[in-house]
A and B are shown apart, each in its own frame.
Chain A
Amino acid sequence: EVQLVESGGGLVQPGESLILSCAASGFDFTAYNMNWFRQAPGKGLEWVSYISRTTLTITYADSVKGRFTISRDNARSSLYLQLNSVTAEDGAIYYCARGKAHWGRGTLVTVSS
C-alpha cells in the first residue's frame, strides 16, 4: 500500500525557516517524480514544487521561488521541503504527493508572531 507521511509542520514566526519531510513507503520511491502541494485554511489547492525521480528537474511556484527548496533522499525514501523566510501567506497544510495520484494526509504550517 502506498503511504506518504508528512511531518515537520508547526508554528513558525514570520521570516523563520522550517523543514518539512515526507516518508514514503509501499512503492519504489526511486521510480517516481514527487510534488508538494498546499492548502491554506478554507482555501483551494495550490501546487508548490516538483522534483523528478533523478532530481534533474526541479521547479517551483512563483510564490515560493527563491525561498523554498525541494529535495529528496532516494536511499531513505524521503522527500523534503525547506521553507525559508516564511510569511503569513505560507500558512497552510502541506501535502506531498507521488506524482499527481497519491497524496499524504498533510502537515500544518502556521505562521504567526
Chain B
Amino acid sequence: DIVMTQSPLSLSVTPGQSASISCKSSESLLYSDGKTYLYWYLQKAGQSPHLLIYEVSSRFSGVPDRFSGSGSGTDFTLQISRVEAEDVGVYYCMQGTHFPYTFGQGTKLDIE
C-alpha cells in the first residue's frame, strides 16, 4: 500500500498569515493516463470531509482561491494564504491513483 506522510501534524496560524502542509507519498502518484490523483480535504469539527483540491492543483467548486495545491510525483503541498477563522479543522491528503486509496494522518490547523 502507498503510505502518505503529512507534516506538520498540527499548525497554529495567526489570521491573515499563510500556512503550508506537506504530503509525501511512498510511491509516485502519476497514473498511466498522465494524471496525478492527489486530493486535499478539510474536515471541520462534527462534519464530513469536503474536497478542496483534486489532481494536485485543481480547486474544487466553491473553494476560495486562498487554497492552492502544488507538487508532483511523490511530494505535494497545500498552501493556504490569508488564513481565516473558518479554515480551522483537520486537513487530509489522499492518493487515489492506486488501490487501496490511502490518506495522510491529518494536519490539525487552529487559529492563534
Contact = CB atoms under 8 A, between A and B. Distances in A.
Interface string A49-71: 01000000001011000000000
Interface residues of A, number: 17
Contacts, number: 46
Contacts of A44: 92, 103-106
Interface stretch (A19-27, A74-82, A100-108): A100-108
Interface of B is mostly: loop
Given A44-B103, A47-B100, A62-B100, A105 B54 contact: no
Given A45-B106, A47-B100, 16 more contacts: A35-B101, A44-B92, A44-B104, A44-B105, A45-B94, A47-B103, A50-B99, A59-B99, A100-B94, A100-B96, A101-B54, A103-B49, A103-B50, A103-B51, A105-B48, A106-B48
